[in-house]
């Protein structure tokens, strides 16, 4: 019977700790943490982090920290003042790990985020921070530890600019839901939005996230895309995603209208030949100009 009493006592103690922790989180003024958070980011990156809105705690089965109007300073040479800006950020917290002092963020929700990745004419990324020494710059930077595994983005925008090549594109994110096993692993994503104003949906795996920031990471892709009445599967990899170079993709596509597909690609004057099926191998050799190594098309 003694072990039963011990189990009951342990359960009661756990309940008391959870209630006490909830009470603390509900009553604590998290806005007091703003200066410490901003200073920690400043020390780590040399850039300013601004939290213009409130930091609030919303209780629930999965309690949530809500942060509003957050911006992160861009590189001084950029024409955009902010590298990233988020209107609202929600972070769901697992309670039990908190009892042992561990933060376990189960889900991250970003409302109206704006993120830009860019390179100047010297090839310097806006993710190159002033606090990184020359010795550190010559070594591979490990990706940060993953503190959440479920991501939801609504009404966002991602912009890429490369001043060396002049290559730019913008992705409008109406809704993106993703499972992220790690910053250095591929994510499973379902996307609804637009690429350079071309509406599309996407379902598949892309990754890792860290490949867009740190050289040396390949970006494998296996996605199905639907746009303009056509469906395409893109499978392959990009060995230099930070500069959008050195890619090799196999593309298979089919649709009901060749003219609609041409308009989607910005080409006019193409007659209507009816439905189509296509298979192509797309690469960019040393000249970094897109090349079609093989092509098979069925029309009508």
For the stretch 113-146, pLDDT in tens is 999 999 898 888 888 887 655 445 455 556 555 5
Tokens linked to 284: 């960019």
Q: Which of 6-10, 36-40, 132-136, 277-281 has the lowest mean pLDDT?
A: 132-136
Query: 3-state class of 107 per DSSP?
Result: strand
Residue 69 sits at the vertex; the CA angle it makes with 67 and 72, to the nearest 5 degrees, is: 100
User: Both tokens of residue 141?
Assistant: 């930077």
Q: Is the pTM of this model over 0.85?
A: no
**Could you tell me the maximum CA-CA distance found in the chain, to the nearest angstrom?**
86
Q: Are 150 and 107 in contact (CB under 8 A)?
A: yes
Q: Three-state SS for 172?
A: strand
Band (pLDDT 50/70/90 cuts) for residue 255 is: confident
Tokens matching residue 74: 């861009």
Q: Where would I find the beta strands (DSSP E) of the chain?
A: 49-51, 55-58, 64-73, 82-93, 105-119, 150-162, 167-179, 187-195, 198-206, 219-227, 230-240, 245-255, 276-283, 291-299
- Give the pLDDT of residue 267: 67
């Amino acid at each position: 019977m003694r072990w039963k009493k011990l189990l009951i006592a342990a359960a009661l103690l756990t309940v008391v700790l959870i209630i006490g922790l909830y009470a603390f989180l509900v009553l604590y003024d998290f806005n007091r943490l703003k200066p410490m958070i901003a200073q920690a980011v400043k020390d780590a990156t040399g850039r300013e982090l601004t939290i213009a809105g409130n930091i609030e705690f919303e209780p629930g089965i999965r309690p949530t920290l809500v942060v509003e109007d957050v911006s992160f300073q861009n590189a001084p040479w950029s024409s955009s003042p902010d590298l990233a800006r988020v209107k609202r950020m929600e972070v769901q917290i697992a309670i039990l790990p908190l009892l042992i002092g561990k933060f376990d963020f189960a889900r991250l929700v970003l409302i109206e985020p704006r993120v830009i990745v860019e390179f100047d004419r010297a090839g310097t990324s806006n993710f190159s921070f002033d606090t990184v020494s020359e010795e550190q710059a010559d070594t591979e930077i490990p990706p940060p530890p993953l503190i959440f595994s479920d991501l939801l983005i609504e009404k966002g925008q991602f912009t890429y600019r490369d001043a060396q090549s002049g290559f730019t594109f913008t992705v409008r994110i109406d809704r993106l839901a993703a499972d992220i096993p790690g910053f250095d692993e591929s994510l499973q994503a379902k996307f609804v939005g637009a690429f350079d104003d071309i509406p599309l949906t996407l379902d598949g795996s892309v990754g890792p996230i860290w490949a867009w920031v740190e050289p040396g990471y390949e970006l494998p892709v296996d996605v199905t895309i639907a746009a303009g009445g056509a469906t395409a599967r893109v499978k392959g990899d990009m060995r230099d995603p930070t500069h959008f170079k050195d890619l090799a993709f196999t593309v298979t596509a089919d649709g009901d209208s060749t003219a609609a597909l041409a308009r989607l690609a910005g080409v006019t004057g193409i007659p209507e030949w009816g439905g189509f099926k296509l298979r192509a191998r797309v690469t960019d050799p040393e000249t970094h100009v897109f090349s079609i190594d093989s092509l098979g098309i069925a029309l009508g």
